[in-house]
Every structure is written in structure tokens, then in C-alpha cells.
Structure 1
Amino acid sequence: MAALKELLPPAKSTTVSHYDHSNDPWFKERYGSSSEQTGSSVIKPNPAPPYGKRSGFIPRRPEDFGDGGAFPEIHVAQYPFGMGRKDERPGSKILPLTVDSKGNVAFDAVVKQNENASKIIYSQHKDLVPKIAAEDQKQSEEYDKEIEETTERTKAALEKIVNVRLSAAQPKNVPTHNSESKFIKYKPSQQSAAFNSGAKERIIRMLEMPVDPLEPPKFKHKRVPKASGSPPVPVMHSPPRPVTVKDQQDWKIPPCISNWKNPKGYTIPLDKRLAADGRGLQEVQINDNFAKLSEALYVAEQKAREAVAMRSKVQRELMMKEKDRKEQELRALAQKARSERTGLAPAPAGPGLVDRSMPDAGEVDAEPPRRETREEREERLQRDKIREERRRERERERRLEAKDAAMGKKSKLTRDRDRDVSEKVALGMANIGAGRGGEVMYDQRLFNQDKGMDSGFATEDQYNIYDKGLFTTQPTLSTLYRPKKDGDEDMYGADEQLEKVLKTDRFKPDKAFSGASERPSGSKRDRPVEFDKQEENDPFGLDQFLTEVKKGKKAVEKIGGGGTMKASAGSSMRDDHEGGGSGRTRIAFERGR
């Protein structure tokens, strides 16, 4: 061993982790002897100027502060002993001095920083020495016992979790019964040979009777009422005040009435419905711009109507002038043709008309005028009279049309075309069948009115469907039973057969009613026969019963007095006695001989 130490180089550091801080210069400078402290100090103080004479003094170095702190009267950044100064370079490599629980300096702090902070660092000599485990028998038993207990607790916890999951899928309230059986040994009271085959003891097996899980409960559980607790706390009220009328009106809340639903079918007045709606509580403010807009639209409409009327008037005047001009030209041409036919000189033309067909006076010599006869003169006067009447009629029609157009009236054709169905029905102008074009006419006024199906249709005591007839002016019944010519041509094939069918008497019975008056031969029935229901004066026979009672007869005397029963195949046979019995016509009763 000594030879080995001589061969090895001297150790640079000892393996002892204990650090002797007495030889540390840092401890010697601060915590050494008093003689050494007086002789040497860590910081050599630089005597600062006295108070009041520090105007030009700026402490920069640690020696300027001495053993004290900063100078408050000097307004510069001061860092006594480096306190408060931020590191100039980030990530300083200087580690603080740390010691362990025993006061030894921990030199392994250098390797336990940065990425090695969360790792296990083996930096001591004892980490290299192998550990010899000297297990004791007692410690091993305790360790095994602890392992077993931990295993049992883990198993119980896992079984609890599994049982909770399994019990959720199992039916609830199933009574559990013990399936274990018990054997009981006893001595019976009958000990003779006649009982129990002469055995002195008996052994029985006792089992718990199984319970049906679907069996309804045998007992009814009643909930116990809760016991009365402490009496209620009294509430102090102010004395009652009389309710005024205003308070009653303020507290009156209208019922909630829906504007869309009425399942009970109540008839609610309009004022009550509006009161429940709450519209009266809101003040409606109408903007003035609505009135301005309406006025502007009215003025614009009036101006547009005036402009349209003016344009139509001017156009109508131009058309009338053009029509008059054409009429004058036609009149001149007719006069010229008439004069040429009669041989008379033509009448002088109007100032605006020039007869281009007439030759000049210098070219052709004028024929001598021929004197018209009396007949020609009368015919001419008659034609002029008729022409004048027609002209006056045309002028009158033009004046009426102009007047009606100015007053907004319509012509007869326009009025007839614009009439609705009800007016045509009232005037007898309605088409009974479908329209010629296939279109159906509707009365627009029936779509929105205060009568009809929407308003209840009619009063409760009326049962008729319509309030009046549809076609009141036309004989409807005469047209319903008359065959149409266009439709019957295809059916019968010829006009002769159609005329024969039309001339044939309709609704003529093969056999007339007995006792009915015959119609005259010239009369023609235009509708089917109408029957009236015969009213019975005594449907229940009360009058006859009272008459018999007054005469002294009993109603039951005639029972059994009719003799034997005989069947009759002939006509009606009735007894002539009073109270003639049944009203049958096929079976009669006769007295036996």
C-alpha cells in the first residue's frame, strides 16, 4: 500500500466533503481576529466630504460609499455595494455560494445547473463506492407485509370500480338470498318404533326460500309526514287603508285577449279587444311629411289630369277638323257627280277646295244649264233633308261624347262592358250559361264585404242558402226544360226529328190520375207536375176515440167481435159497423154463420 502511494502522484484535492472555512480568505477578511480586521479591510473607505460640502461629489465606486448607504442629497443614480445595479451582460456565470444541511460548501452546484438541474448527478465519492445491502430478516418481513397490504387495497379499489359498472346493467331492487344450506340435528318427540322408522335422531337441511324478483311488493310504504317545526314568524303589517276608486281602476288589469286565437269562440266587443291590446296607452304621432307627401301627390295628379285632358281635347279638335274637311271634300265630289249626271253647272267650290278634274273655262265651252224637273227637285230636297238630319245627329253625338269625356261619363257600350255580374243579373243582361269565350265572370264586390260567410252569413233564424233569386227577370223555368237546337242536332241527326221532338207534348203521363181534371188540348205544360203533401187532420185518431167515448161505447168492445178470419183476394172489404177496425185492404174479418 505504501509502495502504491509512492508511485502515484500527489492528490490535488482531498475526497473529504467537509470544507474548512477557517482557511478561506473571504472568512478571514470579515470574521477574522480583531487585530487582523484593524490591519486589513475588504473595502478601503474613501472619506466622503462632510455634509453641506458635497456639491461636486459624485459617488461612483464602492469606496465612495464607505460602510454606509447612498447619499439622498446627491441626485444621481447610486449603487452602494452594487445593490440595484442590473447586470451589464445577461446570463452571468457567477454562482452563489451554497451550503448543505451540515454547513459544508456544495461544490457540485457547478454541474447541477442548466440542463442538469432536473437530473440525478453523482458528484461525490460515496456515489462511486458500491453499496452493500445488509438486509435484516425483520425488515424483509415488514416489506413483504407492506407489499401484500398494498396489493389488497389496489385489488379492492379495482373491484369496486368494476362492480359499479356491472351493477348499472343489472336489475335493481332484486333481493339477495343466501344459498347456503344448514343441517340441523334434533331428536323427535315420538321415540316409538312406529314413528320415523324407529330412529332416535333426525337430520334436516334448511334452505332459504327463493324470492321471485318480479313479484309485486307485499307491503305499501307510506311516507311519514314531516313534523311541525317552529311556529311561523309573525309578519307585522301596517293598518289597512281603505281602497279608493282610483286604486281599484289602477289595479284593474284587462284579460289577455289574443288577436289570432279564440279557441272558446267567445264574442268579444271591439272596445274590449282594443283595451286588451294596449293601443290606447301609446300616443301615435304622425309625421307632417305624410301630409306633405299626400298633398304633393294630389297636386301632381291634378296637373297630370289637366295635361292629359288638354292633350285629348286638342287631339279631338284636330280629328274633328280633319273629319269636317274630309266631309266637305266628299260633299263637293258628290255635288260634282250629281251636277254631271243632271247636266247642270256645278256649284261654286269652297275656298279651300280646288276641283282639279274640271277643265279650264277657256279650253271647253260651258254647256247651257238644263232646268231640273219637279221630281228631281223633290228628290234633291229630300236627300238634302236626310243629309242635314244625319249631320245634326253626328254633331250631337260629338258634343255628347265631348261633354261626357269632360265630365268623366262613359258611353253605353263602355257601361255595358264594365258592368259586374250582379248588375247584369238585375238588368236581365247576364249570360246564364258559361261565357262564349269559356271565361267565368265573378262579382268583385263579393270578395270583401261585411256580409256573407265571413260575417256570419245570416241571422240565426234563417235557414235559406241564398237571400234572393239569381235570375229574377228571366223566366228561368221556361228555359230549363227547353232543348237546345245546337246540342240536339248531334243527338237526333236531323232538323225534322228535332222539330218533331219539340212539338211533342212533354210531361204527359201514360195514364192520367183518377179524379184529376184534364187540361185543355190547346194548353201546353212548360214545367213538371208539382205535388202538394196532404195534411192529415187527425193522424193519431184522437177525435175518433173521443167520439166513441161520448157515445158510450168502449174502445175495447169491438175486439173479438169480428168473427173468424178470412183471406180476401179481391178489393177492399170492410165492416160497416162503427169503429171499422183495421185499415188493411187485403185481410178482412167477417162474422161466422
Structure 2
Amino acid sequence: MTTAAGMLPPMILPRATQPAEPEDEPAGPSAPQRAARAPAQGKRKGWVPRSQADFCDGGAYPEIHVAQFPLEMGRKGKAQSQVLALTTDASGRVGHAAGIASVGQRDGKVVHATRDSLAPKNLGDEELARPSEDAAAENTERTRLALEALAGAKVANAHGSLEKAMSDKKPAQYIKYTPSNSGGAQAGGATNRVIRMVEAPVDPMEPPKFKHKRVPRGPPSPPVPVMHSPPRKITAKDQADWKIPPCISNWKNIKGYTIPLDKRLAADGRNLQEVQISDNFAKLSEALYIAERSAREEVEKRADIQKRLAAKDKERKEDELRNLAMRAREERSAAPPPPPLPAGDASGDEEEGDVRERDELRQERKRERERERRLENKDGKRSKMTRDAERDVSERIALGQARRRQAAVLKAARFKGADRGFEGAREQAAGGGPSGPREFVQEDDEADPFGLDELLSEAKQGRGTLDRIGEGSGMGAAAGGGMGDSGRSRINFESGSGRS
């Protein structure tokens, strides 16, 4: 029975242009032995690793003194590998400067990754010496060329795109090819053709075709390494030492916690302070005691002196009063002095001078009252006269401006001691009788029952409320003991003897 594969024509494959790579053999028990091409330890004399398979994914062989590049590490002219080689220094410590710290840095950059890099460098006199003239000139020339290159690049970028296109314009290229004559549009008989290819002209005024986009910011620089000791596991003693007790206030307890007394005293911190007894307090107390004692002694002496002076002053006053009383007794017991002589021209001149002084004093007081009245009217205030005239009788009584009249009071002393007379009448009789007749002035109360005229006259004369104090001491009595006011005025006793 024939199959479908036998009925198909044989397959024709194209000729291979490159030799076929041998297929990997299935992994068997002999595969690890083929991969391990390096001889065993101690049998590598005269053997040199040639490929990466000879290293068996490991490092170099130190007993073979040839240049070795496992995993292509350290080979010049090759792309940098992402595999880091473990390097050590002379003391066997891992060198991070050539490994981790130098990754991503430019070639020739000095990387400080050790503790010794933090120590200041001590420079000698030779290193701190000034450079020679040749070295300075060489450095100056190198700096000048670098600055000119930077300036030239800036100037070239500042020019237009046309000049840049003309400078970067490439020459024309000629391309020779053999056309295909199968097409109907091709000219017959042409075996070779030449094409001249030039760059298309650039319009300098053409707007830009591409939009400049902001390049995202790169990652920041790595943080500065902190040179500190490795962390240690904290112990229970360290935790107890670092435990800070909660704040306990002696004034507030908002939460209402019950805090033991020993904890409160421990939180107070009074036991942490050493009590130091200073002798300054004793010195201060002694000085205060001495000062107080001296002050008390001074006060006692001063009080004693004042008491003595007061006693002497009292004795002196008593002597003076005793002498005055004795002199008064002698004057009373003596005969009355002769009557005074009639007043002459000298007494008349003195009376005229007194009258003139009283008139001047009266005029001066009048001018003062007018001045006060003008000052009151200047501020738009009412004068005292007009203000008091508009007041009611009740207001005057409340303000103490109403006319006060002494009510007639019938005293029993008039009937019991009628023969006694007035107080001081005997002394007045001994000194001499009155010089003039009695003056009786009858007031017309019917014309001014409320005393407004008298109030206005007192306001004009400038008399105040306090000026009427003591006016009620006069006697006012009516016949028959009635309660009405007497129509008689007060009796003025005047004496010409000169005694008051």
C-alpha cells in the first residue's frame, strides 16, 4: 500500500551558502566532561586558556602567568561589560573604587570611596612650588585652544541654516547601472546608464519641521555616603536607659489618672539636685539683725528726744497761757480806762484811707467778676445770673441757693433768765457803752415773697452759697411766739470803743 509521501515528487532544497552549524548533541552523561575543558588542579602546566569556555564561568587562573580576560573583563577595545569584577587591595579588602563607585563615571575620573579620602592631604614644598614657565605656557595654550573651539561652535550655531547647509553640502555622486530592457518604456539598445545624484536644495526660510521637546530631567546624584559604624542590636539595658518617663504635672490632671506619690516625686526631679547649704544666708541674717537693732536704737533715741521737746513745748505753752490768764484777771479787776478822745484830723485821714482801700478792692473784685462773665460768654455758655434766674424754687432749694430764713423759735430762756441779759453784756458795759444808736431796718417781704430780688443782688455782688453759712445764727422772734417771720431786721451792735 503506497502512502501519500511516496506519491509526492522529491524535495529540491537550495544549495547552502554557509556551512551548517553542527547540531547540539543531546545532553547525556558525557556532556559535563566535554564542558570542563580545563585540566584539574596541579595538572595545568603548559596549558593556556584560549576561549571563554576554558574559564568554566569562573575567574582567571592565578598559576598561569598569561593575560587572561574571563567574561571579557578588562579587555581594551571592547564594549564595557555590565559584569563587575571583584577586586581587592594589598591588604585583601574589597576595593569599591574600581567597582561599584566608578560605574557610570567617565574614564579617568578620580572616585573617592575610601575612608582615607576624607583625611586632608599634606602637601610638601615640592608639590606647592610654582610651575615652571614652560608648563604655564603649555597650560595657557591648551586653555586658549579649548576656549576658541567653544567660541567657534557658538558662532557657527549663530549663523543661518543656509551657510551651514553650504558647508555641509556633499559633492555629487554618479551611479552606473544596467537597465532592464524588458519594459516597454525603456529605450532599446541601452546597455549601461549613469545617474547623477545631488542633495536637494534647502529653503532657508522654510519653517522647522520638527518640534523641540523638553528632555526629561535625569535622576539626581546619589546621596552622600555616611561613614558610620554598622548598626548594633539594642539591648534591654539600652532600652531602659533611653526610656523617657511621661510628663507628670503637679497642677493639672485632665485625664484623672491616679499617679503614685513616689512616681510623682521621681518625675519632679528634686532628688537630682544636690542640696548645698551656703553660709551666705547666715551672714545675711546676722547683718539684718544688726541693722534692725541699730535702727531700733535710733528710733528709740529719736522718740525720746521728740518726747522731751514736746514736754518742754507743752510747759512753755502752759506758762504762756498762765501769764495771759493772770494778765486778763488783772485787767478785769483794774478800773475802766478813760473814754477815748474825739477823733481828730489824724483819725479822719485814716478813715478816708480805709474807705479808699475798700473802694479799690471793690472795683478790683468787680473787674474780676466781669472778666469771668466774659470768659463764660465766650464759650457759648449762659452766665451764672441768667442760669440761676431760670431755675425753679425746688431746684434752688436742692442746690442750696434759696433764701434761708431762720424760723422764729420761742425759747424758754427768755422767760427763765430775763434778768440775765445778753452774754458778754457786763464786759461790754465795763468797756463802755455803744457809740451810736441802734439801727432797725424793716424788710418788705410782701414785695418779694420768694426772695428773688435778694438772690439776683447776691449774684451781682458775687456772693456764693458758702458765703451765707452762719447767717442763721441771728435771732428772729415775733411777738406772741408765732411761727411767722419777724418783720424786723437783725440788731447790729456797733461799738466805737475799738474793742471787738
TM-score, normalised to structure 1, is 0.22
Q: Which has the higher contact order (CA 8 A, sep 6+)?
A: 2
